[in-house]
Structure 1
Amino acid sequence: MTNQNTIPVIVNGAAGKMGREVVKAVSQSSDMVLMGAIDTSPQHQGKDAGELAGLSESLEVPITNQLEPMLGYVAGERQMQPGVMVDFTHPDGVYDNIRSAIAYGIRPVVGTTGLSPAQLEELGDFAEKASTGCLVIPNFSIGMVLLQQAAIAASQYFDNVEIIELHHNQKADAPSGTAIQTAQLLAQMGKTFNSALVEETEKIPGARGSLAEEGIRIHSIRLPGLIAHQEVIFGAPGQIYTLRHDTSDRSCYMPGVLLAIRKIMSLKSLVYGLEKIL
C-alpha cells in the first residue's frame, strides 16, 4: 500500500548482484515501493524483478531496459514523495544515468564507481542548479566508514602507508572507488607519505601499484571468490599497523543503501561519501 510518505524507487542495474539485493531491501521496506527495475541484459528482459532477486512472491515489476520512460513515469507520480534512482550499473554509462535522473527530478543514489573528478564536478553543478539531491557513495558499508576513520587517525602518527583492494574478477574499474576515496581522505591530512629512500625501478610496469595523491600507492587484486575487501597498511620502524575490512555477503551494504534513499529526500546538491550522511 502506498501513500504520500512512500518513496518510489527505481533500481538501475536490477539484474546484477548488487541490484538484486537492492530490489529485496526496497521491497521489504515499509516506507518504499519498487516502481521500476532497469537492466540492459537481454536475457532478463520481462522477468519479474522480485522473482529474479530470489523473493518467494512476484513483485509484478518486470525488468526493462527503458530507463528514461521509467524516469518520466515516476517523475509524474504525484501521490508519493519524489522518486529515487539507485544505480549499480557500469562506469561507462553511470554519468549519463545520473544526468538523466536529475533532469527528470529523480534523485540518484549511486553505488557505481568509476566517475572521474571532472565528471563529479559537472554532476555537482548540474544537481545544484536543479536543486536536486544526488548521493555518490563508493562504499555503502558502515564498517568501511569506520576503517577510513581509523586510517585518518593513524595517519597522524605514521608517514608510510599503502592500500590493497581486492575484488571479484567481474569488477570493471581499478582501483576501486573505495580505495581512491580512502587515499583522498588520507591526502587531506596535509602531509606527503612514503618519502623515497632509494631510486626505485619497476622491472615490470605497475609492479608498485598505482600512484594516488600525496605519494600513496594502491594495489588492485581481481580474483573469483572475492567480493570486496580492503587493507590499509601503515609502516614504521619496528611495527606494522594493518586495517582490513572484508565483505562476505552483499547484504551488508543494504542498511547504507536504505539510509541513503531516506536521507537524499532532504538534499539539494551532490554529496560524496556515506560518512557525510551518517
Structure 2
Amino acid sequence: MTIKVGVQGALGQMGQEVMKAVIAAPDLSLVGGCDVKAKDSSLMIGSIYVPLSADPRKLLDKTKPDILVDFSLATAVPQTAEIAAKAGVSIVIGTTGLNPQVLSRLEELAKEHRIGIMVAPNFALGAVIMMELAKTAAKYLDWAEIIELHHEKKADAPSGTSIATARGMAAAREKPFESPAGEIEHKSRGEEFYGVPIHSVRLPGLVAHQEVIFGALGQTLTIRHDTTSRESFMPGVLLAIREMASRKGEFIFGLDKLLGF
C-alpha cells in the first residue's frame, strides 16, 4: 500500500529535504506541498511536478493525503492541525517551539478525529540516542549543562531538542541537579529548564549540534551530537510517516517512542 504524503512548509529547507526523501521512497507518494509563501501552482522536485498551495485546506481537499508532514512555524501549527484533523489526515510535526497548550490540543485532536499525530523535537537517530544516553548519565551525575548550536535562521531558542533533553534528564533523577551555591544571576549564564542551564548559539555555518556536559568530582562527561546535513533527519521522518499512517487515535511525542526506548 502506498502512503500519500503532503508537506507543510514546502519551500523551507527541511520541507525541501522531506519532499525529496518521500519521492525517493518506493512505498510513499508525494501528492502536494503547502507554504505560506507559495502561490497556487506546482513545484518541480527532481523530475516531478508537485501541486503547491498557500492554503492547507485547499491542498488537502485537492490531494487527499494520508499524512501531512509539518516543518513550518510554531504559530502556524495549531491552525494547520485543526484543518488536517477535520479532514481525517494524520500529522507528523517536526516544527519546534510548541507550547504545552498546543501539545495538549494536538493530543485531543488525535483522539477526537481518530488520526495519528506525532511531534518530535529531533528526527536524527543519533540525536535521539544522545538524549537517551543523557538520561542514563543524569541518574548518576549531579551537575549538568547543555550547549545547543544552530544556524542563524532558526526561529526558536533554546531548541526543542535541548528542552526535551533537559526534561528527560530531570525525570530520570530522584532529586534536582546541583547549581553553584549562592550564584549571582548573570546574563552570560544559560536560562534554566528543568534545573539544567541551556546555552544557545546561532551562527551561519552551523546546522544542528548539541553538547550535554556533566560534571563530578575530578571528572566531566560530554555527550555530543552533530548534524552536518539535513539528510540526517530523513530516516526518522520516513519512519514516523510509515508508523503514524496506521496509528489511529494516538498522540506520540518523541521519536524515541518508535525506537523502543
TMscore range, shorter length: over 0.9
Runs of at least 5 residues in structure 1 that lack an aligned partner in the other structure: 76-81
Identity of aligned residues (%): 43
Structure 2 match to 1:15? 11
Which residue of 187, 190, 198 maps to 1:209? 190
Structure 1 match to 2:24? 28
Structure 2 match to 1:152? 135
How high is the TM-score relative to the length of structure 1? 0.88
Which residue of 75, 95, 98 maps to 1:115? 98
Cα 1:249–1:196 change in 2 (3 A) is closer
Please tell me the residue identity of whatever aligns with 2:41: G
Please tell me the residue identity of whatever aligns with 1:6: T
Once the two structures are TM-superposed, the CA of residue 108 in structure 1 deviates from its matched residue by 0.6
Which residue of 207, 210, 213 maps to 1:227? 207
Cα 1:28–1:202 change in 2 (3 A) is same
Matched, 1:66 2:47: no
Structure 1 match to 2:41? 46
- For the 8 Å contact 1:49–1:63, the answer to whether it is kept is no
Per-residue CA distance 1:196-241 (angstroms, 9 max, x = gap) = 442222343xx2211111x111111111110000010000011010
Structure 1 match to 2:231? 251
Once the two structures are TM-superposed, the CA of residue 272 in structure 1 deviates from its matched residue by 0.3
| RMSD (Å) for aligned C-alpha atoms | 1.5
- For the 8 Å contact 1:161–1:193, the answer to whether it is kept is no
Structure 2 match to 1:261? 241
Higher strand share: 2
- For the 8 Å contact 1:140–1:253, the answer to whether it is kept is yes
Please tell me the residue identity of whatever aligns with 1:241: L
Please tell me the residue identity of whatever aligns with 1:210: E
Q: Secondary structure at the match of 1:277?
A: helix
Task: Output the CA distance in 1 between the equivalents of 2:13 and 2:203.
Answer: 16
- For the 8 Å contact 2:128–2:256, the answer to whether it is kept is yes
Q: Secondary structure at the match of 2:75?
A: helix
Alignment of 1:72-111 (within 5 A): 72-75=61-64, 83-111=66-94
Matched, 1:182 2:171: no
Q: Secondary structure at the match of 2:5?
A: strand
Runs (4 or more) in structure 1 with deviation over 6 Å come to: none
Per-residue CA distance 1:123-161 (angstroms, 9 max, x = gap) = 101211211100101100110111111111111210111
Once the two structures are TM-superposed, the CA of residue 190 in structure 1 deviates from its matched residue by 3.5
Runs of at least 5 residues in structure 2 that lack an aligned partner in the other structure: none
Task: Output the CA distance in 2 between the equivalents of 1:25 and 1:105.
Answer: 24
Please tell me the residue identity of whatever aligns with 1:131: R
Task: Output the CA distance in 2 between the equivalents of 1:64 and 1:70.
Answer: 6
Task: Output the CA distance in 2 between the equivalents of 1:19 and 1:141.
Answer: 15
